């Protein structure tokens, strides 16, 4: 069980670093409106597959309801909204298609759309609904949800790439070399016990502690970052010797440097897996350890 105790310590450290990376990612996403840009890209693919469709997309963004969402979710800035539900999308789409006409002219208004792909999609959805208005609205909402599911997958892959670079920065700033951390925990029982105690207490917390706002504003993200560094990272920084104050490279050879660099890369890749992965793993290992005899 001794090796399992060390693994708990390593997993806990990687969990905290992953949470730090997630907090930094929130900050970047808020500052650069990454979720809003992702939504805008998805809307562009749906409404403006050709140059002619740009007019329709412009009208969509000019809709009062869309502007209201932009202000609500972007802290009164001109940035795009981070989220839009399917009913809202359908409502705005109907408004810009029909303009001043009633729903009885819906088919004619669809046929007059400038974007050929959008025209074909809407006509197909209308046929699938047997020209029933309520079913047609439901088909549009399902179409939107399907597109957003794919957009969410793209956004997750995109942010994971950013998380790798964030992980590299974190590894360098905190001198968080996974191999060195493992060596420190294995050779220092007192430090190991201190970290494992923190890990066990953390694992007992409700999983909702890892869930943050869907899109906190910049100030909230910055406050989350400061609070997390002060309360969580500092709890392991001192016992593990994270940072550069206690580092001595005078006796380092080429293999030591290679191992150090590899340790940073391992940390960055581990961080990119995300906090939920490490939190689930920590809980499982803590439960396995609790079911056996503690060393």
Q: Domain boundary residue among 88, 123, 149?
A: 149
> Within this chain, do residues 239 and 190 fall inside the same structural domain, yes or no?
yes
Distance (Å, whole) CA 241 – CA 278: 22
Residue range 243-266, pLDDT digits in tens? 777 677 778 889 989 999 999 999
> Within this chain, do residues 257 and 181 fall inside the same structural domain, yes or no?
yes
> Within this chain, do residues 142 and 283 fall inside the same structural domain, yes or no?
no
CB-CB contact of 20 with 29 (8 Å): no
> Within this chain, do residues 118 and 210 fall inside the same structural domain, yes or no?
no
Q: Domain boundary residue among 126, 149, 172?
A: 149
- Phi, psi at 80, each rounded to 5°: -70, 155
Number of domain units in the chain: 2
Output the pLDDT for position 295.
Answer: 47
> Within this chain, do residues 177 and 260 fall inside the same structural domain, yes or no?
yes
Higher model confidence: residue 139 or residue 207? 139
pTM: predicted TM-score of the whole model, two decimal places:
0.74
> Within this chain, do residues 141 and 245 fall inside the same structural domain, yes or no?
no
> Within this chain, do residues 41 and 100 fall inside the same structural domain, yes or no?
yes
Distance (Å, whole) CA 276 – CA 152: 17
Range of the domain at 122: 34-149
> Within this chain, do residues 84 and 161 fall inside the same structural domain, yes or no?
no
Distance (Å, whole) CA 167 – CA 265: 8
Residue range 90-149, pLDDT digits in tens? 999 999 998 877 788 889 999 988 888 999 999 999 999 999 999 999 999 999 999 999
């Amino acid at each position: 069980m001794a090796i399992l105790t060390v693994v708990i310590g390593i997993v806990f450290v990687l969990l905290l670093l992953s949470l730090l990376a997630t907090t930094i990612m929130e900050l970047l996403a808020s500052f650069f409106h990454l979720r809003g840009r992702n939504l805008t890209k998805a809307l562009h693919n749906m409404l403006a597959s050709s140059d002619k469709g740009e007019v329709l997309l412009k009208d969509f963004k000019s809709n009062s309801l869309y502007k209201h969402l932009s202000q609500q979710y972007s802290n009164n800035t001109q940035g795009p909204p981070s989220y839009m539900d399917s009913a809202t999308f359908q409502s705005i789409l109907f408004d810009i298609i029909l303009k001043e006409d009633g729903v009885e002219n819906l088919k004619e208004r669809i046929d007059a759309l400038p974007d050929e792909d959008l025209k074909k999609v809407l006509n197909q959805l209308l046929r699938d609904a047997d020209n029933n208005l309520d079913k047609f609205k439901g088909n549009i909402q399902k179409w939107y949800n399907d597109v957003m599911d794919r957009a969410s997958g793209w956004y997750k892959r995109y942010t994971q790439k950013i998380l790798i670079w964030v992980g590299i920065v974190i590894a360098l700033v905190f001198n968080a070399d996974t191999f060195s951390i493992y060596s420190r925990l294995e050779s220092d029982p007192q430090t190991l016990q201190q970290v494992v105690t923190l890990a066990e207490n953390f694992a007992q917390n409700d999983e909702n502690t890892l869930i943050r706002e869907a899109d906190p504003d910049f100030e909230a993200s910055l406050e989350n970052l400061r609070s997390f560094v002060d309360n969580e990272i500092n709890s392991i920084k001192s016992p593990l010797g994270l940072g550069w104050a206690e580092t001595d490279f005078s006796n380092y050879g080429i293999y030591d440097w290679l191992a150090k660099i590899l340790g940073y890369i391992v940390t960055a890749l581990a961080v990119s897996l995300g906090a939920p992965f490490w939190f689930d793993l920590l809980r499982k290992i803590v439960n396995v350890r609790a079911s056996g005899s503690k060393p």
